[in-house]
Amino acid sequence: MDTPNTTTDAGIPAPSDDHSLTVGSDGPILLQDHYLIQKMAQFNRERVPERVVHAKGAGAHGTFEVFPDAETPAWTKADFLQPGKKTEMFARFSTVAGELGSADTVRDPRGFSLKFYTDEGNYDLVGNNTPIFFVKDPNKFQDFIHSQKRRSDTGRRDNNMQWDFWTLRRESTHQVAFLMSDRGTPRTLRNMNGYGSHTFTWINAEGEAFYVKYHFKTDQGIDNFTAEEADQHTMVDADFHRADLWNAIEGGNFPSWTLEMQIMPVDEVDDYRFNPFDLTKVWPHSDYPPVKIGRMTLNRNPSDYFAEVEQAAFEPSNMVPGIEASPDKMLLGRLFSYPDTHRHRIGANYMQLPINRPKAEVNSYNKDGQMRYENPGDPVYAPNSVGGPHADEERFGEDFTPTVQGHFTREPARQHSPEDNDTAQVTSFWEQVLTEDERTNMVSNIVGHAGADEVTDEMKERVISYWTDVADDLGKRVADGLRADADETAGDNR
Identify the pLDDT of residue 1: 64
Identify the pLDDT of residue 33: 87
267 vs 490, which has greater pLDDT? 267
pLDDT band at 164; cut points 50, 70, 90: very high
pLDDT band at 60; cut points 50, 70, 90: very high
Spatial CA neighbour of 187 closest among 221, 151, 225: 225
Rounded to the nearest 5 percent, the helix, strand and coil shares of the chain are 35, 15, 50
Does residue 146 have an active-site annotation?
no
Contacts of 67 by beta carbon, 8 Å cutoff, 6+ apart: 83, 84, 292, 293, 294, 295
68 has pLDDT over 90: yes
pLDDT band at 490; cut points 50, 70, 90: low
Is 195 in contact with 112 (CB distance < 8 Å)? yes
Average pLDDT over residues 110-120: 96
219 vs 40, which has greater pLDDT? 219
The model's pLDDT over 224-280, given as tens digits with 9 standing for 90+, comes to 999 999 999 999 999 999 999 999 999 999 999 999 999 999 999 999 999 999 999
380 vs 75, which has greater pLDDT? 75
Does residue 128 have an active-site annotation?
yes
458 has pLDDT over 70: yes
The model's pLDDT over 81-110, given as tens digits with 9 standing for 90+, comes to 999 999 999 999 999 998 998 999 999 999
Number of H helices, E strands in the chain: 13, 10
Identify the pLDDT of residue 492: 61
493 has pLDDT over 60: no
207 has pLDDT over 90: yes
27 has pLDDT over 80: no
Spatial CA neighbour of 139 closest among 412, 341, 345: 412
Identify the pLDDT of residue 351: 93
Q: Element (H or E) spanning 50, and its range? A: none
24 has pLDDT over 90: no
DSSP string, 132-187: --S-SSGGGHHHHHHHHSB-TTTSSB-HHHHHHHHHH-GGGHHHHHHHHSGGGSBS
Identify the pLDDT of residue 380: 84
205 has pLDDT over 90: yes
Q: Which of 370-379, 426-435, 459-468 has the lowest mean pLDDT?
A: 370-379
Alpha-carbon span 23 to 219, nearest angstrom: 65
13 has pLDDT over 70: yes
pLDDT band at 363; cut points 50, 70, 90: confident
389 has pLDDT over 90: no
Alpha-carbon span 229 to 233, nearest angstrom: 6
24 vs 199, which has greater pLDDT? 199
345 has pLDDT over 60: yes
Average pLDDT over residues 28-49: 82
pLDDT band at 489; cut points 50, 70, 90: low
494 has pLDDT over 80: no
59 has pLDDT over 60: yes
Spatial CA neighbour of 483 closest among 425, 443, 431: 443
Exactly one of 61, 122, 128, 342 is catalytic; name it: 128
Cβ neighbours of 376 (radius 10 Å): 14
Q: What integer best gives the mean pLDDT of the chain?
A: 92
234 vs 34, which has greater pLDDT? 234
- Give the number of C-alpha atoms closer than 13 A to the C-alpha of residue 50, restricted to the C-beta side: 15
Average pLDDT over residues 110-134: 96
Q: What is the pTM of this model?
A: 0.92
Identify the pLDDT of residue 298: 98
Alpha-carbon span 319 to 88, nearest angstrom: 16
